[in-house]
A and B are shown apart, each in its own frame.
Chain A
Amino acid sequence: MDKLKIGTCWLDGCSGCHMSLLDMDEGIVAVLRKADIVFGPLVDAQEWPEGVDVAVIEGAVSSQDDLKLAQTARARSKVVVALGDCAVTGNVPSMRNGIPVRTLLKRVYIEGATERPGSEPPVVPTDGVPGLLKHAEPLHSAIKVDVHVPGCPPRPNAILFVLSELLEGRMPDLGSKMRFG
């Protein structure tokens, strides 16, 4: 039997959910017996491949790049898992949503900059950085999400449960096992 394919990525998040994913101890061996991780922060692939079975996405959708990656992952994957509170609710990244983007960037890059004698005046960077969206939004506001796994981060055994069920072809029922935060 061909191995299944898992892709993972993080959008506007802290990578803590990926840490939790790696923290499932020997559980990861059982996962990797059934599936290959074909895309993710620890994988060389530059682009989200076609034919992924399970997409595991951490983080809120906060920038144009986030949106593009989420849409690509959705188009090329059978099942999409929103992993962790940022992907599920917007969480900490969404705390900027009450502030207009322009004001936010000015506060961080101009007013927040320490001026040194002789240095160029501070500017808001635009080259090589993705444009921010108006809001950092939960993943399901941008793409269809099949499984929501709340938690900051979700516990490793919860992630293992979700992946194991999906790799067995079942939709995981988290019921009342998970909470926000």
Chain B
Amino acid sequence: MTEKVKVRIDGEVIAATAGQTILEVARANGKYIPALCYMEGLSAVGACRLCMVQVAGVARLLPACTTPVQEGLAIDTTSAQLESYRKIALELLLAERNHVCAVCVSSGHCELQTLAQEHGVTYVRYPYNYPRLTVDTTHPRYVLDHNRCILCSRCVRTCAEIEGAHVWDMAGRGIDTRLVSELKRPWGEATSCTSCGKCVQACPTGAMAEKGWAVEEMTKQRTVVSRLTSMREGQ
């Protein structure tokens, strides 16, 4: 499918291919739309709500990562309203679990922390939830800290779509949703896990990390997924 369409993003006329999403077109043209659950090379799920954009003639906001472009769409990616909603989304993510940046392996390399800073979140207006959550240290090489998980599902999709093992899933609903490995087995006992570690690299926060690192020491290879996908597409 190579049908060409023209869209207008923030006033600029941009040529795109039908089937591409707003987010893909925007990023390909150097326009920045923030996102946490989107990762190049994975399917898009529209979970984090940070990439919401305003499309002319549509009353509600639409997630840029799951909305395909159509001929003549006029899209606003920045406005005071969008900015205020993105800030709310970030604050709610920070309030939902126990994100203690000061003691996190990923501090300084965390996408949630960076986005909060970029959006001028200097404090959280909502009451913190303080859930009591577990840390799964059963895997010999990796650790899963539910306190830092934002349920973006990048690990789920990386494991299912790239590694083909589908170890991870979401269990429960709403605020009780938890990331689970192999139908709630401890990670270390998940027999389908190949220990490839791509879920760890895909995780935007410190929820998944390699063992053995101290505060601020865990850096991740963010391009591992997109690199593998593009190499496979080239075959």
Contact = CB atoms under 8 A, between A and B. Distances in A.
Contacts of A85: 101-102
Contact of A149 (B102, B120, B122, B216): B122
A117 to B, nearest CB: 36
Main SS of the interface on chain B? Answer: loop
A181 B107 contact: yes
Contact of A135 (B114, B123, B130): B130
Contacts of A180: 94, 99, 101-102, 113, 116-117
A150 B117 CA distance: 10
B180 interface: no
A99 B132 CA distance: 8
Contacts of A138: 123-124, 128
B125 to A, nearest CB: 8
Given A82-B123, A88-B122, A175-B120, A181 B130 contact: no
B103 A179 contact: no
Contacts of A88: 122-123
A123 interface: no
A89 B130 CA distance: 11
Contact residues of A: prevailing secondary structure: loop
Interface stretch (A32-40, A41-49, A63-71, A90-98): A90-98
A181 B123 contact: no
A17 to B, nearest CB: 11
A92 B101 CA distance: 9
Contacts, number: 73
Given A94-B128, A97-B130, A176-B117, A148 B123 contact: yes
Nearest to A14: B102
Interface string B86-108: 00000000100011111110011
B44 to A, nearest CB: 27
Contacts of A137: 128
A135 B94 CA distance: 17
Nearest to A178: B122
A152 interface: yes
B12 interface: no
Interface string A161-181: 000000000000011101111
Interface of A: 82, 85, 88-92, 94-95, 97-99, 135, 137-138, 140-141, 145, 148-150, 152, 174-176, 178-181
Given A89-B128, A94-B98, 14 more contacts: A85-B102, A88-B123, A95-B100, A97-B128, A97-B130, A137-B128, A152-B101, A152-B102, A175-B120, A176-B120, A178-B117, A178-B122, A179-B117, A180-B94
23 contacts: A85-B101, A89-B94, A89-B124, A91-B102, A94-B98, A95-B98, A98-B133, A137-B128, A138-B123, A138-B128, A140-B123, A148-B122, A150-B123, A174-B120, A176-B117, A176-B118, A179-B114, A179-B116, A179-B117, A180-B113, A180-B116, A181-B104, A181-B107
